[in-house]
Structure 1
Amino acid sequence: MKRKLLILPALLLAGMTFAQEVDLKAIEKIKKEGLENSKVEEIAFQLVDKAGPRLTNSEGYERAAEYAVKQLSDWGLANSKTEAWGEFGRGWEMEKSYIAMTKPYYMPFIAVPKAWTESTKGEVSGKVIFLDIKTEEDFAKYKGKLKGAIVAIKPSGTQEPTYEADAERYTAEQLHGMEHPAPREPRGNGGPDRAADFRAARALSQKINEFIIAEGPALIVKGVNGRHGTLFTSSPRDYAKGTPVGIPELETAPENVNLMARLSENGVVVELEAEVKTRYRNDDLQGYNVIAEIPGSDPTLKSEIVMLGGHLDSWHGATGATDNAAGCIVMMEAVRILQATGLKPKRTVRIALWGGEEQGLHGSRGYVKNHLGDRETMELLPEHEKVSAYYNIDNGTGKVRGIYLQGNAAVAPIFNEWFLPLDDIVDDRTITIGNTSGTDHQSFDALSIPGFQFIQDPIEYRTRTHHTNMDTFERLELDDLRQMAVVIASFVYNTAQRDELLPRKELPKKQ
């Protein structure tokens, strides 16, 4: 079923004067090139398999950035380069990771070192001590007993069987439900008791961490979220220079720790052997983005910019295929399509592949601060008024099903018009006034530059791939990536051809 318009009439009326005729011949060229001559599989191999995990400031990130710079340049883009956005911190490399239960029987475990964790002192082995700390009084049970020990921490949550498919595509009904998002509850809702509980839990967690470090175990083995062999990786945020030495830590599938816990609780001695070898990179603490341009063709409009991007960095438990090589593949393919078709956008098209997103949108926030303006002071730079829009992909491998307006009602009729020639490849599309968060379009939206993330089919993003050890090439839906690249190229081209910049929301006040 194709739905031509899925937005409130009020949104259509807002900004109606901004609509203009779409160049259908150009859109057909984009579709033909993107669907018949796609290079997404080749780009995916380079960014995912060949570059490997792309933790910010890692060797894998550098490999991916070097490939992207060269490839964009080879396609004829101008000013293709890596650009420093500011200080990030230490790079980090895994060189060895091994863990197995050796008593009461031998069993290898699925595990990943926590990012920026330390090395063990060679191979460590011995009896496992389980920590069960609910209050500070519990510290006494372990005082003086953890030096050189292997400490295990049980996972939270449950790992019962699942009865729903891991992969999902949105139904028309689900998309329709996004059109009228429920009002968000104000922050702090839940009352003072809930807020106090959160602060107390956070304070206890910090004290537990300090206690463990002071006791000096040889290794921490932590069961984390996940099931059926999938585990969600994370970081102790120890990438900043000058971070004190910590305790080596392995994150393992929850089933592994649960097994050891059941054995231990029933009087069976459990022993492990493990080795973690890591290396820090301190030679360059700067963080970098990849930037390249298709110069504008119109003498008047070429000073204005249409941006598209996604974050190039990933976590380290796998090769970061859907988070977010997928977005970078799509954006690189989108600019390749524009080049291959011979279309000449009036405005300059600038692609950005961001670093440091996983640690807090660092790359895009640094870019915005350096080029466009400071959100805290609201001191704006000249280029701020030149950016028409920023388009982002960072919700996995699923094809585009619509777009979030981020509260910018005036662009609704424009985007609806732009989707019309794509209705044969965008099923049951939805345009929603609602916001989505957690990725780089927010850096632009914070300064009222129109920044948008597209609605994408979830596929396995929430269940199997987002920050996990299963985020590999096999998780990519290549046909979906092709569809996305066509949609993005079309939106970018239409934005570049408009007589006017896209309408903006009111500027926020100084923080």
Structure 2
Amino acid sequence: MLYLKLRQKKWLLIAGFSFIGSGIFAQKSVIDQMIQEEYKDSQLPLLGHELLDGIGSRLVGSPQMKKAHDWAVAKYASWDISAKNEQWGVWRGWERGISHIDMTAPWVRSLEGTQLAWSPSTKGKTIHGEVIILPHFKDSIEFKAWLPKVKGKMVMISYSQPTGRPDYNWEKFSLTPSFEKMKAERKAGQEEWTERIKASGFTAKTLPSILEKSGAIAILTNLWSQGFGVDKIFGANTKLIPTVDLSLEDYGLVYRLASSGNAPSLNIKTDSKETGIQPTFNTIATIKGSEKPNEYVVLSAHFDSWDGATGATDNGTGTLVMMEAMRLLKKYYPHPKRTIIVGHWGSEEEGLNGSRSFVKDHPEVVEGLQVALNQDNGTGRIVNIGGQGFVQSEKFLTKWLAAVPDTIKDTLHTSFPGTPSGGGSDNASFVAAGAPGISLGSLSWDYFSYTWHTNRDTYDKIVFDDVKRNVLITAILAYEASEDSEKFTHEKIAGPFKNGRNGKEESWPEAKDGIRKGGLD
């Protein structure tokens, strides 16, 4: 009898250790399985193709934006994840059409250029006119006297760059005196052009409106992005006539011809279409928490883009990271302790409007937020994570990051407690509301020169090996944050803070609502 009792105790102890061991194994198993799947059967290339090639750019208020929202909801449904499009406002609807830009004199050449977003169309016609350059004025009186000369003309209002070679190319090949001379001439030219605009009594933003009211038939611009063949593509400031960004190379050609008295003439046809007032959405997908459903882990990325290209790295890659992380979490961690939400925000590019609206409309998520993980700066692997000014950020983020294998986080650096983001991306919407919105900062890959808001932000610029690492870092952090027995406190460091860019002292950013009616003034 004593022997049987001792034997029973032995087996109970073995069973107990086995249970504990299986718990540890299960914890590792979730992470290991997600890693194994992502490296062996990642859905990133397919998702990228469907979104970027199949749907294209995602300008707020455009048909492509709505198509993308609907695609995301359907994709989540295919993974058995509940998702919906949540309306937060309305926006001026606009749809890009086919554009033709051709120089017809003094010789014939089809020009590379892009109609700016929300630019008026030519109403099915091809407009034709001579190109003139905004001259230098002594003052606004002289400018007003010149204004009648714009009638029937296409007006160039941007500085013409002296070189289309980026500085790194000059540094590599030029003699130092030549490089320094070019930079000095460029600086002087840019300053002169700034004074030229200022002397008119208007700004670069308000000048197009007065030109169109005075009879100009088109506005020509160039906003070089400091890389070979790359321009920034934003929105137009005209309501009656088209605004076209010409490539640096073609803008320079036309500018030189106009400067030398060769009277260049262009044909322009832009077939964009106004589509009235359109609803704007965030796509929200949710995996409900099993133990603490009123506490939240939020995966965050803006869904919209500018439409000079397809928005592949701004913010297609961030979108793909969050979608793929949710797919892995649902498959290997279907019953999280805390509720896991993904937010694909609309109209980030016009001022964080989707995420600001969500934060305003969902105080329960802000109050119960464990952490929001936001990614929005290109295709590069995550290399920087900061604490955003939260006192306990080091404790929690360091603990969660410990579960990420060194082979995935070997280039990752952290800084705590950091200072709060005042803007820039959607994590700032949560930070301003006093909740930990953490930015997952990526390696550059020349993001700001070549893909950020440019005409070259396309699928081929994605570095999928880096994006896979980002998926795993995000998914593991979300898993650890959900499993943590403690809640990430929202205690903030005392201000004021020094702005890292300009050195000025700033207070904790103020929470703002999104613009609920956009582009309608």
Could you tell me the TM-score, scaled by structure 2's length?
0.79
Match in the other structure for 1:274: 268
Corresponding letter in the other structure for 1:246: L
Residues 393 and 118 of structure 1: CA distance in aligned 2, closer, same or farther (over 3 Å): same
Residues 353 and 207 of structure 1: CA distance in aligned 2, closer, same or farther (over 3 Å): closer
Cα distance in 1 for partners of 2:103, 2:444 equals 36
Task: Report how far residue 45 of structure 1 moved.
Answer: 0.9
Residues 129 and 153 in structure 2, CA contact (< 8 A), matched pair in contact too: yes
**Corresponding residue to 1:370 among 361, 379, 385:** 361
Residues 114 and 54 of structure 1: CA distance in aligned 2, closer, same or farther (over 3 Å): same
Corresponding letter in the other structure for 1:367: F
**Corresponding residue to 1:123 among 123, 126, 133:** 126
**Corresponding residue to 1:264 among 238, 258, 264:** 258
Match in the other structure for 2:504: none
**Corresponding residue to 1:35 among 15, 26, 39:** 39
1:251 has 2:245 as partner: yes
1:334 has 2:325 as partner: yes
Query: Which is worse superposed, 329-338 or 150-159?
Result: 150-159
Match in the other structure for 1:470: 456
Match in the other structure for 1:185: none
Task: Report how far residue 358 of structure 1 moved.
Answer: 0.6
Aligned-residue CA RMSD in angstroms? Answer: 2.6
Cα distance in 1 for partners of 2:199, 2:243 equals 21
The correspondence of residues 202-213 of structure 1 with structure 2, limited to 5 A, is: 204-205=202-203, 208-213=207-212
Cα distance in 2 for partners of 1:113, 1:21 equals 57
Corresponding letter in the other structure for 1:315: W
1:481 has 2:481 as partner: no
Q: Deviations over 1:111-155 (max 9, x none)?
A: 111110101241011211111355413424532222222222233
Residues 203 and 265 of structure 1: CA distance in aligned 2, closer, same or farther (over 3 Å): closer
2:165 aligned counterpart, secondary structure: coil
Task: Report how far residue 500 of structure 1 moved.
Answer: 2.0
Gaps spanning 5+ residues in structure 1: where? 1-19, 167-196, 239-244, 373-381
The correspondence of residues 24-423 of structure 1 with structure 2, limited to 5 A, is: 24-78=28-82, 80-87=83-90, 89-121=91-123, 122-133=125-136, 135-155=139-159, 159-162=163-166, 164=168, 204-205=202-203, 208-226=207-225, 227-236=227-236, 245-282=239-276, 284-298=277-291, 301-372=292-363, 382-420=364-402, 421-423=404-406
Residues 491 and 156 of structure 1: CA distance in aligned 2, closer, same or farther (over 3 Å): farther
Query: Which is worse superposed, 23-32 or 358-367?
Result: 23-32
Residues 209 and 237 in structure 2, CA contact (< 8 A), matched pair in contact too: no
Corresponding letter in the other structure for 2:370: S
Query: Which is worse superposed, 494-503 or 152-161?
Result: 152-161
Q: Deviations over 1:257-295 (max 9, x none)?
A: 22222222222221111111111121x433101011011
1:427 has 2:410 as partner: yes
Q: Deviations over 1:54-97 (max 9, x none)?
A: 1012111111111100111111112x11001123x212111121
Matched length: 441
Task: Report how far residue 402 of structure 1 moved.
Answer: 3.1
Residues 433 and 510 in structure 2, CA contact (< 8 A), matched pair in contact too: no
Residues 216 and 247 in structure 1, CA contact (< 8 A), matched pair in contact too: no
Residues 208 and 117 of structure 1: CA distance in aligned 2, closer, same or farther (over 3 Å): same
Residues 119 and 237 in structure 2, CA contact (< 8 A), matched pair in contact too: no
Residues 22 and 494 in structure 1, CA contact (< 8 A), matched pair in contact too: no
Cα distance in 2 for partners of 1:149, 1:386 equals 58
State the structure with more CA Rg. Answer: 2
Whose relative contact order is higher, 1 or 2, with alpha carbons under 8 Å and at least 6 apart?
1
1:439 has 2:425 as partner: yes
Residues 317 and 467 in structure 1, CA contact (< 8 A), matched pair in contact too: yes
Query: Which is worse superposed, 219-228 or 205-214?
Result: 205-214
Cα distance in 2 for partners of 1:467, 1:347 equals 36
Q: Deviations over 1:15-63 (max 9, x none)?
A: xxxxx99943332222112222210111101110001111012111111
Residues 147 and 218 in structure 1, CA contact (< 8 A), matched pair in contact too: yes
Q: Deviations over 1:314-346 (max 9, x none)?
A: 111111100111111000000001122245310
Residues 161 and 248 in structure 2, CA contact (< 8 A), matched pair in contact too: no
Corresponding letter in the other structure for 1:418: W
Corresponding letter in the other structure for 2:230: T
Match in the other structure for 1:3: none
Residues 330 and 481 in structure 1, CA contact (< 8 A), matched pair in contact too: yes
Corresponding letter in the other structure for 1:230: V
Residues 248 and 367 of structure 1: CA distance in aligned 2, closer, same or farther (over 3 Å): same
Cα distance in 2 for partners of 1:495, 1:426 equals 17
Residues 95 and 279 in structure 1, CA contact (< 8 A), matched pair in contact too: yes
Residues 154 and 261 in structure 1, CA contact (< 8 A), matched pair in contact too: no
Query: Which is worse superposed, 148-157 or 464-473?
Result: 148-157
Gaps spanning 5+ residues in structure 2: where? 1-23, 171-194, 494-507, 512-521
